[in-house]
Structure 1
Amino acid sequence: MITEIKNAIRPLAELPDSEISELTGIATIKKYPFKSHFIKAGQIPTEFGIVINGLFRYIYISEEGKEFTKVFMPEKSFISSYTAMISGTTSFFFIEAIEDSEVLVIPYHNWQKLNSHNSKWNLLLEKLLEKGYAAKEKREREFLLLDAESRYRIFLEEFPTLENRVKQHMIASYLGITPIALSRIKKK
């Protein structure tokens, strides 16, 4: 398990082996089959994770059943309904495995204990939150300022392998368009 943890964390923050081994005491590796959920809307999250392999998406589902894909989370991504977890409230979205996946899962209360004994873990949390905030700000800017065709080009640049891993209706949902509109864009 130590190798998987190192591989998951090292791209995010350069921490020494001795500190990474501390994490093995509180973390577990869990498997999430295709279509299973790391978190469901309405649940109060108590853990977060780092995707070791596989692929997830965050989705909102309207009362009418329409899906809105917020983001795709491939390998080495931090997954959590973070705001709900730290505030002890229910999540508004689902985190769904869209491939068979493995996640390094860390219970939040254990993380807090670990962090209270060694503040260097704040470096990892800071890097994870910075990465998430930057991605959120970029995505909002794209939705506000760019048309669907431009958003699709950016999707292909950012996630060059995802088009073959993700169903077209999910990509359309991520882009904020219908699958028919996505087909038209791809034909151009």
Structure 2
Amino acid sequence: MDTTYEPLIKFIKRIIDLPDTEVAKVLQLFKPVRIAKGEYYIREGQVPKKFAFVEKGLFRYLYINNKGTEFTKNFIPENSFLSAYSAMISQQPSRMFIEALEESYIYEIHYHDWLKLKKGHQCWDKLLITILEKAFSVKETRERDLLLLEAQERYEIFKQEFPTLEKRIKQHIIASYLGISPISLSRIRNKTAS
């Protein structure tokens, strides 16, 4: 793991002007953590107290119904923030799981430390607004796609948005993201290949 924090600092600096004094705080408050493949970063029912930046690896947001069926909400690859944010800010139990699909390396900050960081400099508000605007846009587009597009079209969009993921994750996880069965996904793949 890159303990220089370079990927995190670079990511933040692409979005905001980050003063050196704030870089020092990042180095102090964000902690490097390794998450094993299959481990949950957040579990349903847990009140989230931290969030993280993904340096290396892959996560998914998912729901599991009372029959044990999994529904993948989204994928969180490298150079993304990872959070059950609405549950964290309301200090309510999370309704979703966040699962590591690969061995992953993250930089994690406690929510209490994040609030202190935000109060200390206005640049953090700009970072937060930018990240939340992007997340809202992704959520809105995904909801529209699930409601209006055929499975084949959703699969094509998935391949465009996540060009490397088909080789990194199992077919049933992709199917749960697309809202179809693994058998339907196989048919779509076969049709696309021919």
TM range (shorter): over 0.9
Q: Which residue type is aligned with residue 55 of structure 1? A: L
User: How many residue pairs end up in the alignment?
Assistant: 188
Mapped partners of 1:33, 1:109: distance in 2: 25
Deviation at 1:17, TM superposition (A): 4.2
* Residue of structure 2 equivalent to 1:123: 126
Question: Are the structure 2 counterparts of residues 163 and 52 from structure 1 closer, same or farther at C-alpha, using a change threshold of 3 Å?
Answer: same
Runs of 5+ consecutive residues of structure 1 not aligned to the other structure: none
Identity of aligned residues (%): 48
Mapped partners of 2:141, 2:26: distance in 1: 31
3-state SS in 2 of match to 1:141: helix
* Residue of structure 1 equivalent to 2:61: 58
What's the CA shift string for 1:11-34, capped at 9, x where partnerless?
Answer: 444434442232111110111010
Question: What are the residue-to-residue correspondences of 1:5-16 with 2, within 5 Å?
Answer: 5-16=8-19
Mapped partners of 1:150, 1:11: distance in 2: 32
Mapped partners of 2:92, 2:131: distance in 1: 21
* Residue of structure 2 equivalent to 1:159: 162
Mapped partners of 2:17, 2:158: distance in 1: 28
Question: What are the residue-to-residue correspondences of 1:12-91 with 2, within 5 Å?
Answer: 12-91=15-94
In angstroms, what is the RMSD of aligned CA positions?
Answer: 1.3
Q: Which residue type is aligned with residue 44 of structure 1? A: V
TM-score by length of 1: 0.95
TM-score by length of 2: 0.93
Question: What are the residue-to-residue correspondences of 1:99-118 with 2, within 5 Å?
Answer: 99-118=102-121
**Contact residue 59 and residue 93 of structure 1 kept, 8 A:** yes
Range that drifts further, 8-17 or 26-35:
8-17
Runs of 5+ consecutive residues of structure 2 not aligned to the other structure: none
Q: Which residue type is aligned with residue 56 of structure 1? A: F
